[in-house]
């Protein structure tokens, strides 16, 4: 599968990206207003005879006192060849402390860093996993595993990863 369009674009309020399958056919992946992933207009998982595969929405809740969060807690081990279609963080309870900053990735600096108190953190997708190194989540003052402790006493969020396993 190759990426035809490297980023999501909004078409009529729906985010989409074009991926070219091994069969040479370009497939449009969309995320509708309800968060449903569709392939060529059909809900992912019932797309029939394509090589796009099935999407999985992975949910990782975390809090200010999650064990290992400061130095990097492993949250997911990808399969080589899987594609990360989307990722976002939903802050469910505001964080305090000194600039609590999140980053996610298989190495650091990771995919992004954004002050978690804002709830605004996005990454450029799609990304193809080329190793099965664990995906780690870090919250520190600079979003790195060696960053200073933000000394938060409150804060909760959920990291979502949407992946596709090509068939």
Domain co-membership, 31 together with 87:
no
Residues 48 and 63 grouped into a single domain: no
- What is the domain extent for residue 7? 2-52
Instruction: Report the domain count for the chain.
Output: 2
Predicted pLDDT of residue 121:
53
Q: Which pLDDT belongs to residue 47? A: 39
pLDDT along the chain (167 residues), means of 10: 42 62 67 67 51 75 94 91 84 90 79 52 71 90 90 92 80
Of 61, 60, 62, 65, give the one whose Cα is nearest residue 153.
65
Tokens linked to 104 = 């996610």
Please indicate, yes or no, whether residues 158 and 113 belong to a single structural domain of this protein.
Answer: yes
Q: Are 111 and 104 in contact (CB under 8 A)?
A: yes
Same domain, 61 and 138: yes
pLDDT score, position 63: 95
pTM of the model: 0.64
């Amino acid at each position: 599968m190759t990426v035809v369009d490297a980023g999501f674009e909004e078409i009529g309020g729906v985010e989409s990206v074009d991926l070219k399958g091994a069969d040479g056919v370009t497939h449009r992946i969309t995320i509708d207003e309800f968060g449903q992933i569709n392939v060529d207009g059909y809900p992912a998982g019932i797309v029939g005879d394509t090589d796009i595969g099935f999407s999985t929405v992975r949910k990782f809740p975390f809090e200010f006192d999650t064990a290992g969060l400061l130095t990097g807690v492993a949250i997911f081990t990808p399969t080589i060849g899987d594609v990360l279609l989307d990722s976002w963080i939903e802050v469910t309870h505001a964080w305090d402390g000194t600039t609590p900053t999140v980053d996610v990735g298989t190495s650091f600096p990771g995919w992004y860093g954004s002050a978690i108190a804002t709830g605004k953190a996005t990454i450029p997708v799609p990304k193809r996993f080329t190793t099965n190194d664990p995906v780690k989540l870090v919250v520190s003052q600079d979003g790195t595993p060696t960053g200073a402790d933000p000394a938060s006493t409150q804060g909760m969020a959920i990291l979502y990863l949407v992946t596709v396993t090509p068939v």
